[in-house]
Amino acid sequence: MADNASIQDIRIDKDGVWYYRGTEMFRKDIVQLLYQHIKLDQDGKYLVEIGEDQAYLDVEDTPYVVKSVSFIFSASDKKDIIRLHMPDDSMDELDPSSLRVGSDNSLYGIMAGLGLEARFSRSSYYQLAEHIEHEACQDKFYICLNNCRYYIRK
């Protein structure tokens, strides 16, 4: 990766597929390495920084797309959590207070460990939707976790 890599050199589409100069990056080990080094600059632009090298990313939506979710009990925290399974085989915990619906009706949430936003894929959305409830009197949707209601923002 060169210091002067153009923003068009590395692109991530809305489904989280990585491309280098228009060609899909199929080597999982390389994509995993790049995921580990994603940062946000002061202007809110995504870049990959490895040592002295950096390259800005052309991100169609968000670089993180949740592939699946699981509801688990964290013995260390003694609470239920929603675990996010990411495309690079990493996992993170969802900050349930961050759930929001985007303009295209996609669902988004913050990965608690990274503090960055991820979009839910269709399949992960359906997994989470099984736990979404509707409050008719306020016409709001929420997820209940550890006896707390987390409303989904629009």
Res 108: pLDDT = 97
Give pLDDT tens digits for 20-34.
Answer: 999 999 999 999 999
Using 50, 70 and 90 to split pLDDT, how confident is the model at 104? confident
Domain match, 54 and 119 both: no
Q: What is the domain range of residue 95?
A: 64-151
Domain match, 101 and 34 both: no
> Where residue 49 sits, what CATH number does that domain have?
3.10.540.10
Domain match, 54 and 110 both: no
Q: Count up the domains in the chain and report the number.
A: 2
The residue from 27, 44, 59 where one domain ends is 59
Domain match, 16 and 43 both: yes
Q: For the residues 48-53, what does the mean pLDDT come to?
A: 91
Domain match, 143 and 73 both: yes
Domain match, 83 and 141 both: yes
Using 50, 70 and 90 to split pLDDT, how confident is the model at 87? confident
Using 50, 70 and 90 to split pLDDT, how confident is the model at 148? very high
Domain match, 92 and 16 both: no
Tell me the DSSP string of the chain: --TTEEEEEEEE-TT--EEETTEE---HHHHHHHHHTEEE-TTS-EEEEETTEEEEEEESS-SEEE-EEEEEEETTTTEEEEEEEPTTS-EEEEEEEEEEE-TTS-EEEEETTTTEEEEEPHHHHHHHHTTEEEETTTTEEEEEETTEEEEPB-
Residue 58: is its pLDDT beyond 80?
yes
